[in-house]
Chains A and B, each alone.
Chain A
Amino acid sequence: MSGRFVPLNLSARLQQSATGNPAAARLASGVANCFPGLEFDHRNLDRRFFPGLVVEFADPLVAQPSMGGVVTLVDLDDPVLDDAAVTHPELPDDLAALAADMTADPRAWWIVRIVQGGVVIDPQTIKGLELDSLGTWRIVRSLEPGPVQLVLNRFGDDGVAAGEVTLDGPRRAYLAAGDSIDAGYAPGELTQSLCSPWQHDFRDCGCYYWASNHPDIAIEAVQPGEEPGVPPPPGTGWVNWLRARPPRDNVPELGYYEISERYQDLAVVLRDRESADPYRPDTAEAAVPYATTDELVAELRDGLAPLEHALTLEYLYAWSSVRSPQEVAALSDGDLADSLPLRFRADPAHPLDGVSDRPGDITYLRSRLRRDVTFLREQLRSTAISEMRHLSWVNLLLRKLAAMGIGTPYAPALGIATDIPAGLPGATRPAALRPLVHATVADFEAVERPTGGLDGLYARVRATLDTPELGGELYDIASRIVDDGVDHYSSFRRMAMIVDVYDQPSPPHLRPGFTLAPRTEPKVARALQAQRGIMTLLTLGYSGDPSQIAEARGLMLAGLEGAIDSSARQGFGVPLF
């Protein structure tokens, strides 16, 4: 619900939960462990303990014992320098000299001594003290507010010290007035590191712990057919986000050490999908509203309603082309083995590719095919139902707009489109009733693809409805259709994975001999009669009698579905348009 309130100022934005992030994704809702811990790296606070300096707690590459703080930046724009200069007037000049020196000489400056309140922390004088990275950080943590003296030095490759520099200044207070974090910290500076992809331990994180930066699975950026001329990558659909790249046998994921070196290969994931390119707002966000509400109404009535109707029927027809699980169960072992793709047969040329036709393997293949057809039929059926729902929502939009005096008086929009968007902008294909083969699924994917045809059109509808006068409920309806489209697309992509496995003449997932029947074929008469009845009921229902819609729904489930399936089982595809 929070998405409808757009946060504007900082305190409002703090309360916002980003889409996809769990409730615990904000720093304030953490369980407050810090380095050495998981949620917050306290060293990020301490790296600016001295005004104008950024110190990293690191161990030197050259063998220098007792050092662990290296100056990585002199920040002359540090806002606390003005205050520091009041009590330490020489500090800005000293820092400017250090900055100039660092520009001229690449050798790093290391902290070699820290003095506060007369206490000299010096490895030469304190036995057993190791000023390595952790030791130095602990010393810095223990500094009190007040004057502190830092002695820096740098070293040649031979380890010989080149000469000390002494800086006097106040330890940073960390908090500014009002207990806010000191303005010297850049946005993101305090939350960097730890539980980040470049951390060794990141591999062990699961998405339910750090969902915001560690998805378990994602949809690959480039999908089959999305990029002309590029062959589909092996294994499409949901993939392991941490998968080894390039793919290697028996190595499913990046290893502990690999992740530190190859974190940049991990893709940013937006809306479940990996990004191959820099982020661009999608169609839904960048959509251009229709110029007028009349144009909106015309598009809904003459464009989207017929399109939803045509897709419903295309999906239903494809559904009826797929064997039912019972039909797969009833196949003889011989028929099953003959109908399976080559890759599933014992093939000396591809010994690792498939399995043999031994009885045990036939059992496996049968169960696999049953599982696959069950999935295909369920997905097609539910997607068709979803499109029917969209058809009714488009009619609802039209009726409500007409009630507001917009566009023409309402009449049920139940036409069937003859042209279907084909993915590329402006491209279309003829509406067609086809069995569920590779090309069919590819076309279904294309029309449902985010930023493809259908969702782009609804995004424009939604953008047009995003006004105080029209918004609210109508906007919500359009948004729901846009969101459904993403689900449809994912669903078809998973179907494509299965259909591709069986891609051959006479694919085993399809009903043998399934062909589009002429409208005069007696075997399809019952289905066509049910379809005509449904159209009559919907016309009445959309015109204002809700009970007729319930009747229509009953006839779809009890009459049409069974009639179509029964005809199809005998090889007769029902000519739904």
Chain B
Amino acid sequence: MTTVESDRWTPVTLGVRHGEDPGGSGEPPWFHLVPGTRPLAWLVGGSQLFEVTQSDFDRLAAGDAALVAALSDMAVAGPTGPASPPEPPTAVSLALAQSCNLSCSYCYADSGQFGGPARRMPVDVARRAVDNLVEGADGRRVTLGFIGGEVLLHREALHDVVAYAEDRAGAAGIPIGFSITTNGTLVTPADVALFRSHSFAVTVSLDGGAGVNDAHRRSRRGGGSFERAVAGVAELLADPGLAKVAARSTVTRHDLTVQERVEALGAVGFAEVGVSPLRTGPDRQARFAATDWAPFLAEMVRAADAEMERIAAGHPPRFTNLSTGLREIHRGSARPLPCGSALSYVAVGADGDYWTCHRTVDNPAYRLGDLDEGLSATARQSFLDRRQVDATEPCRSCWARYLCGGGCHAEVDEVGREGCDYIRGWLEHCISLYAECQARRPELLRAMGVS
């Protein structure tokens, strides 16, 4: 059993598994007990959180039949899978440029080229993808995302497609949102104006301060990218207009720190910073190994504690891994899949093929059709059926299955599920934090938009 002590908040105990298999029936666990100063019961099906007394906690842990039955009275069934056939997606990302001006060591897209030649998406391909998206929307809000490569290498197409999509959505009377992921180094004033006026969700890939960032995020000529990226997004950060700008940091095993990354990127001017561990990619030395997850969890907990202190001191929230986690716990989010991939969201590659998401572009195992033939309902359905947490182990036997959803499809398929203890530990910490805040500091949750 690993115990991660947090200085200021509830300690997290890993490895305690209650309700995993009550009575040894072989049924999936339906509740999970989170120990701590505020003992908690998590009901898996509906992601419901209850506080219990220590004596009830002990009785539940011991399998007290009457109390377990009483708890089951509160439980609801788990989430159902997607409709069959799945509805048309409401989000599409366009790989406008399958190329990049940087050559980050760990890039899953192989410098944006996904293992092939550098390509640009013709404007008419992008427009047809928009047509399909709008036509399938049936009144629902749609999101058009731009992910590369580096999208701004094909700036003309970006500006054209945004204007086109806006017209199409306007004519159909459906709301539309835009998002882009960029390395920030090529942003021009015209791009800034576009992001500001069209409520873009802008995600800038930056790993931390200059030293941390430039260790992996380098230009093709070998120089660091931090200074150029910061200069590129400075104007947007100073006045985001209607845009929402966030930094996304990739954590490698060379440097597992989290809090320092969040602080460094906050200092640059980002109001939101999120981190992700590196599981896959060409740089095997940088990828997480089995021994990295426990210290990484400790780093995440340390960053979460620092964030809570910051918010308690009156600063706005910044660390999005925490605020997102707390928000999902507050809502009682329960889903059988980790993301909208192949369901509400698909990607279109430069050649006009549909892929399950932006990470699987040009990988034949994940192809879902093309713009001419349309999305294959069969391909989507079989992809989704195989990946629901109730259909696969070890997810089926995990209490956190409906919060986690089973992990990124692309990563799991490539390297398996090594980080599950970390995910459970992080979720337990967020659950404990949430309970503590609900009881003693609800204003902190409100400050994080969790209400």
Contact = CB atoms under 8 A, between A and B. Distances in A.
Interface of A: 1-2, 4-12, 14-16, 80, 82-88, 144-148, 170-171, 173, 176-177, 466-469, 471-473, 475
Contacts of B52: 4-6
B246 to A, nearest CB: 17
Given A7-B48, A82-B199, A88-B170, A468 B74 contact: no
A86 B331 contact: no
A16 B330 CA distance: 15
Interface stretch (B16-24, B111-119, B174-182): B174-182
A475 B56 CA distance: 12
B415 to A, nearest CB: 30
Contact of A15 (B48, B174, B175): B48
Given A11-B332, A12-B48, A15-B46, 9 more contacts: A1-B73, A9-B329, A9-B434, A15-B75, A83-B199, A86-B175, A170-B175, A468-B39, A473-B55
A469 B46 CA distance: 30
A472 B56 contact: yes
A173 B48 contact: no
Contacts of B166: 86-87
A86 B169 contact: yes
A4 B332 contact: no
Interface size for chain B: under 10, 10 to 19, 20 to 34, or 35 or more residues? 35 or more
B198 interface: yes
A469 B39 CA distance: 12
A85 to B, nearest CB: 8
Contact of B48 (A9, A84, A146, A467): A9
Contacts of A15: 46, 48, 74-76
A471 B56 CA distance: 9
Contact of B47 (A1, A11, A87, A146): A11
A83 B177 contact: yes
Contacts of A86: 166, 169-170, 175-177, 198-199
B322 interface: no
B330 A173 contact: no
B449 to A, nearest CB: 11
Contacts of A16: 74
B140 interface: yes
Contact of B55 (A8, A12, A468): A468
A4 B47 CA distance: 18
A1 B69 CA distance: 10
Contacts of B332: 9-12, 14
Contact of B50 (A7, A176, A177): A7
Interface string B173-191: 1111100000000000000
Contact of B172 (A12, A146, A467, A475): A146
A5 B71 contact: yes
B180 to A, nearest CB: 15
Contacts of A170: 173-175
Contact of A12 (B39, B74, B140, B174): B74
A10 to B, nearest CB: 5
Given A2-B70, A86-B175, A87-B166, A9 B49 contact: yes
A83 B330 contact: no
Contacts of A10: 330-332
Interface of B is mostly: mixed
Contact of B56 (A4, A82, A87, A171): A4
28 contacts: A1-B70, A4-B56, A7-B49, A7-B74, A8-B50, A8-B51, A8-B435, A8-B438, A9-B329, A9-B332, A10-B330, A10-B332, A11-B48, A12-B49, A12-B50, A83-B176, A83-B177, A83-B199, A86-B175, A86-B199, A87-B166, A87-B176, A144-B139, A173-B140, A176-B141, A468-B57, A472-B53, A472-B59
Contact of B51 (A6, A88, A147, A173): A6
A469 B37 CA distance: 12
Interface in B7-25: none
B43 interface: yes
Residue of B40, B170, B435 with most chain A CB atoms under a 10 A cut-off: B170
A459 B126 CA distance: 69
Interface string B25-64: 0000000000000011101001111111111110100000
A84 B39 contact: no
A80 B353 CA distance: 32
B334 interface: yes
A76 to B, nearest CB: 15
Contacts of B177: 83, 86
Query: Would you list the 9 A-B pairs with minimal beta carbon distance, nearest first?
Result: A11-B332, A468-B54, A146-B173, A145-B139, A472-B55, A83-B175, A87-B170, A12-B48, A1-B70
B161 to A, nearest CB: 14
A47 to B, nearest CB: 19
Nearest to B70: A1
B330 A147 contact: no
Contacts of A173: 139-141, 175
A145 B55 contact: no
Contacts of A7: 48-50, 74
B39 A5 contact: no
Nearest to A15: B74
Contacts of A80: 175
Contacts of A8: 40, 49-51, 434-435, 438
A147 B173 contact: yes
A175 to B, nearest CB: 8
Given A82-B199, A86-B166, A11 B70 contact: no
Nearest to B47: A11
Contacts of B139: 144-146, 173
Contacts of B334: 11
Contacts of B170: 86-88, 147
A176 B70 CA distance: 34
B391 interface: no
